[in-house]
Amino acid sequence: MIAIAATPVAAVSPAVAEYRFTVRGSAGQAVHVRTAGVPKDWLVTFCTRKVCTPYRFDGTLDGTGRAHADLRVFPTGEPHRAFHAFTVYVRGGRTIVVTLR
């Protein structure tokens, strides 16, 4: 079974919502995470030490069965529609709703 969580952290800018995204499961397990419900004028990125990827996170859980990413949410331009929540889901697994703070 895979578990996912998004914990709010201090953002680098007032326009950005930032979270510590964690995936837990079995060591070596491949995970495929996607987002849904994000308006077209907003961007959600999953950033690891190596790369930032929009709207998705694909990886392999480490030897402890975990993977982490910085989850960032921000508008792509002005004007933008406000929105309050979006969904993060693991293919074949868990779903969480992230509420913007």
> Domain of 10?
3-99
Per-residue pLDDT reduced to its tens digit, 38-70: 988 899 999 999 999 999 999 999 999 999 999
Q: Is the pLDDT score of 81 beyond 80?
A: no
Task: Name the domain count of the chain.
Answer: 1
Residues 71-79: what's their mean pLDDT?
86
Q: Is the pLDDT score of 80 beyond 80?
A: no
In angstroms, how far is CA 28 from the centroid of its own chain?
A: 20
Indicate the average pLDDT of the chain.
90
The confidence score (pLDDT) of residue 70 equals 95
CATH number at residue 22: 2.60.40.1510
Pairing label, strands 66-75, 17-24: antiparallel
